Structure 1
Amino acid sequence: MNQLRDNLKKLGLSPNHIFQLVKDSIGEDLAGGEDITSVATISSSQVSTADFTTRASGVVSGLHVVAAVLEYCGVTHYEVLVDEGAKVAAGKVLITAQGNTQKILLAERTALNFLSHLSGISTLTSKWVAEVEGTKCQIRDTRKTTPGLRTLEKFATRMGGATNHRLSLSEAALIKDNHIVAAGTISAAFTATKKMFPGKSLEVEVDSIDQLKEVIEFKPDVILLDNMSVQLCQEAVAIAAGKVRLEASGGLTIENAKAYANTGVTYLAVGSLTHSAPALDIGLDFRKGK
């Protein structure tokens, strides 16, 4: 367990958070009872060896979360065979576990849910990153994450090669259209935020070139170009002239990612990395006769 804690910390993950997620997930699966199918069909003393194996190629992440699931369920003999963020082909064995058969089966679905979901995010992210390769633009995630899984999902985007946007509302300020409406003006919203939280990074969302020209004068850390066309992003980059970083958001697809990246913006903010990534097909198979 101590080694697992160290591994999670090295990956930028909180061991206590991961262990609580695992505890809650197994608790949800058992619902106060037991795995009646396994208890009825398998001897409590039976021991097996099982492999977590990819059934499709992709970029894998969440391997050490699987390790946490296995350990919580009482399966302490396992080996993680690939690195987090590794690109693997179909048929690759990622983790081998040996132990009580009932306990491996208890861990199976929760482990696969985490592993397939996170690997799906890393795989999709890697495709976006590949699309903008050769430009100076970075793919950046958003807060459009599954409640309770944000740190893991943002970990998965990092493993896919993306850059994290703010992890929480308290980490950095992002003045959006509703803040501007509520405050009255962009100037009022910016001034109030800068005064109250002078040490925090501050980003402002604009939806027109006129707003961009106004905001540039305030010298925010980043300006978010909301739902602007490629042509408008090019114009915005020319106006900013390197004075401020620009981030394009809205209307982005993997097909037009390169065109947006070539405008010269610093970031593409892509919500679909976390809210629409399909799971990577990964299975758990017992070795026959073992």
Structure 2
Amino acid sequence: MLTEHDLKDTIRQSVAIALAEDIGDGDITAQLIPLTQSGHARVITRQSAIVCGTDWVNEVFRQVDPEVQLTWHVHDEQAVVPDQLLFEARGKARSLLTAERAALNFLQTLSGTATISRHYADLVKDTGVRLLDTRKTLPGLRRAQKYAVTCGGCFNHRIGLYDAFLIKENHILACGGIAAAIQTAKQNEPGKPVELEVENLAQLEEALAASADIVMLDNFSLEDMRTAVKTTAGRAKLEASGGINEDTLYAIAATGVDYISIGALTKHCQAVDLSLRLI
């Protein structure tokens, strides 16, 4: 799970990289504006969304010019409507315009991730299933997008390759079988969750016999998912995965699986349309 410390480090590093690639050795267009000229900017959304990324925006302006003053009118996880005022910024006009694109890039991308996550979460809100993200994230924005997923009401799968096992077909083949893979995982990293992907009910039985903590049901039919839930009966957590979309989601949740992982939460996000104007 992400910690507050993880996010603080991530935000500082991500913002520094974003500003370096955008500003380079100087914003030559902003230099057209007198250095002493002050500005007041307002940022609105042009579409409905779930807000996410306020801390990234704060850090962008802090790194560009710590004297810029921001006034937020919304907060992360808040639902907003078209033309709603999100925040205001006051300071040197040069600073406001230099920071604009990096700040809005973070806010529009993370809000887009939170918005699609809220959409999917609402589809199964009357069930007990937890919707999980995947590692199909924008390069360099893994932790940021996973934070955005939680702002939308969904949950995080493992953060990366280091915090939990996910043993798939190629791992099983290379390790010499399901039991051997699970046993080795538990010996190598005791205490870390061991999840194994299975493609049929026979493999599920093997995974349960080897004491997998979580079993991923890859592209199972609804009938086989229901059978898997009965077979497992609390011996492990079950996660449904594979080509799941908003049309198939509810029926899968109704089978009784514990988790459903959806790559679309992070890889299909559409940036929210935002606008910054000096007034």
Q: TM class by shorter-chain length?
A: over 0.9
1:260, CA displacement in angstroms?
Answer: 0.5
Q: 2:68 touches 2:95 (CA, 8 Å); kept in 1?
A: no
2:35 aligned with 1:44 = yes
Q: Secondary structure at the match of 1:162?
A: coil
1:188, CA displacement in angstroms?
Answer: 1.0
1:17, CA displacement in angstroms?
Answer: 2.6
Which residue of structure 2 lines up, in the alignment, with residue 127 of structure 1? 119
Which residue of structure 2 lines up, in the alignment, with residue 3 of structure 1? none
Q: Which runs of 5+ in 1 are unaligned?
A: 1-8
Alignment counterpart, residue 59 of structure 2, candidates 60, 68, 77: 68
2:101 aligned with 1:109 = yes
- Give the partner amino acid of 1:68: E
Q: After alignment, is 198-207 or 116-125 more displaced?
A: 198-207
Deviations 1:35-59 (A, max 9, x none): 222222x222111111121110010
Alignment counterpart, residue 90 of structure 1, candidates 75, 82, 85: 82
What is the CA–CA distance in structure 2 between the aligned matches of 1:112 and 1:120, rounded to whole Å? 12
Alignment counterpart, residue 53 of structure 1, candidates 33, 44, 48: 44
1:13, CA displacement in angstroms?
Answer: 4.7
2:265 aligned with 1:238 = no
Which residue of structure 2 lines up, in the alignment, with residue 29 of structure 1? 22
What is the CA–CA distance in structure 2 between the aligned matches of 1:102 and 1:10, rounded to whole Å? 34
Which residue of structure 1 lines up, in the alignment, with residue 143 of structure 2? 151
- Give the partner amino acid of 1:116: Q
36 and 86 in structure 1: CA distance in 2 versus 1, 3 angstrom threshold: same
Which residue of structure 2 lines up, in the alignment, with residue 265 of structure 1? 257
- Give the partner amino acid of 1:30: I
12 and 260 in structure 1: CA distance in 2 versus 1, 3 angstrom threshold: farther
Q: Secondary structure at the match of 1:36?
A: coil
Query: RMSD of the alignment, in Å?
Result: 1.5
Alignment counterpart, residue 195 of structure 1, candidates 187, 200, 208: 187
108 and 54 in structure 1: CA distance in 2 versus 1, 3 angstrom threshold: same
2:6 aligned with 1:18 = no
Which residue of structure 1 lines up, in the alignment, with residue 209 of structure 2? 217
- Give the partner amino acid of 2:63: Y
What is the CA–CA distance in structure 1 between the aligned matches of 2:144 and 2:163, rounded to whole Å? 17
What is the CA–CA distance in structure 1 between the aligned matches of 2:6 and 2:92, rounded to whole Å? 28
Q: 2:11 touches 2:55 (CA, 8 Å); kept in 1?
A: no
- Give the partner amino acid of 1:73: V
- Give the partner amino acid of 1:29: D
Deviations 1:235-290 (A, max 9, x none): 21121122211000112001111111000001110111111111111121222xxx
Q: Which runs of 5+ in 2 are unaligned?
A: none
- Give the partner amino acid of 1:91: D
- Give the partner amino acid of 1:25: A
1:171, CA displacement in angstroms?
Answer: 0.8
Q: Secondary structure at the match of 1:78?
A: strand
- Give the partner amino acid of 1:190: I
Deviations 1:202-255 (A, max 9, x none): 111101111011111122211001111222211211211222110001120011
1:18, CA displacement in angstroms?
Answer: 1.2
1:10, CA displacement in angstroms?
Answer: 8.3
Which residue of structure 1 lines up, in the alignment, with residue 269 of structure 2? 277
Q: After alignment, is 111-120 or 46-55 more displaced?
A: 46-55
Query: TM-score of the superposition, structure 2-length normalised?
Result: 0.95
1:133, CA displacement in angstroms?
Answer: 1.1
What is the CA–CA distance in structure 1 between the aligned matches of 2:162 and 2:29, rounded to whole Å? 45
What is the CA–CA distance in structure 1 between the aligned matches of 2:56 and 2:3, rounded to whole Å? 13
Deviations 1:164-184 (A, max 9, x none): 111121111111111001112
Q: Secondary structure at the match of 1:64?
A: helix
Q: Secondary structure at the match of 2:29?
A: helix
Which residue of structure 2 lines up, in the alignment, with residue 178 of structure 1? 170
2:130 aligned with 1:138 = yes
